[in-house]
């Protein structure tokens, strides 16, 4: 039992280091699509965190890094609105043409969204995407897209790295634990 606990702790620490390293990377370059991972929505409006992700994706789109933006996220606790649709509507209100937007509206978590986005990408003959989310979420999201056979690059929303060392440690450990659960589930 002690070896199992030691192994889990080692995995969490090693993965936390990878998460922190990936959080500091921005791989902006031309791709087939920009994928924005959802965050909370409030009665049809993106939360401040989600809005910041969407605004970053908008800036990347305006710079010509991809012809399409895919927003993700299911309905969660609000059966009237999905994160994906709210994100899509927000970007359309900012001036992104309807034909350049796709909403993935069924994913209940990052893994489900990654699976659904991979289907969308393959159906549209796309293979490379630029992921937009919070910095400490990038490692896990990128790994999940890779598991779907999609080449993913990362561009975290600005200002999403926690300001304090304790905040960074907690964020990395939380993401590391989520990644451990994902890895345990897919095996």
Task: Let me know if residue 109 belongs to a domain.
Answer: yes
Residue 183 lies in a domain: no
Q: What is the CATH number of the domain that holds 30?
A: 3.40.50.620
| 106 within domain boundaries | yes
Q: What is the mean pLDDT of the chain?
A: 93
Average pLDDT over residues 24-37: 96
Q: How far are the Cα atoms of 24, 78, 88, 137, 174 from residue 35, in angstroms, in the given order?
A: 19, 22, 11, 13, 22
State how far the Cα of 146 lies from the Cα of 165, in Å rounded to an integer.
Answer: 29
The mean pLDDT of 27-35, rounded to a whole number, is 97
Q: Is residue 146 part of a domain?
A: yes
Q: What is the pTM of this model?
A: 0.93
- Is 81 among the domain residues? yes
Instruction: Confirm whether 91 is domain-assigned.
Output: yes
Residue 187 clears pLDDT 70, i.e. is over it: no
Per DSSP, what are the bridge partners of residue 69?
Answer: 34, 101
- Say how many domains are in the chain: 1
* 113 belongs to a structural domain: yes
Where in the sequence is the domain holding 133, given as residue range(s)? Answer: 23-161
The string of pLDDT tens digits covering residues 44-59 is 999 999 999 999 999 9
- Between β-strands 33-36 and 128-132, what pairing exists: parallel, antiparallel or unpaired? parallel
Q: Is residue 18 part of a domain?
A: no
Tens-place pLDDT, residues 61-103: 999 999 999 999 998 777 889 999 999 999 999 999 999 999 9
Range in 5-19, 40-54, 123-137, 142-156 with the lowest mean pLDDT? 5-19
């Amino acid at each position: 039992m002690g070896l199992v606990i030691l192994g889990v702790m080692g995995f969490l620490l090693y993965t936390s280091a990878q998460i922190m390293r990936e959080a500091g990377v921005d791989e902006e370059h031309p791709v087939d699509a920009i994928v924005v991972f959802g965050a909370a929505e409030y009665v049809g409006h993106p939360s401040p965190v989600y809005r910041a992700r969407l605004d970053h994706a908008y800036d990347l789109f305006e710079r010509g890094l991809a012809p399409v933006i895919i927003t993700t996220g299911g309905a969660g606790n609000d059966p009237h609105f999905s994160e994906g649709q709210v994100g899509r509507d927000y970007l359309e209100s900012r001036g992104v043409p309807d034909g350049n937007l796709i909403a993935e509206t069924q994913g209940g978590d990052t893994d489900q969204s990654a699976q659904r986005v991979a289907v969308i990408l393959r159906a549209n003959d796309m293979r490379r995407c630029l992921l937009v989310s919070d910095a400490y979420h990038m490692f896990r999201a990128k790994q999940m897209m890779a598991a779907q056979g999609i080449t993913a690059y990362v561009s975290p929303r600005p200002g999403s790295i926690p300001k304090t060392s304790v905040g960074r440690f907690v964020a990395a450990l939380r993401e590391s634990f989520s990644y451990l659960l994902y890895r345990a589930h897919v095996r």
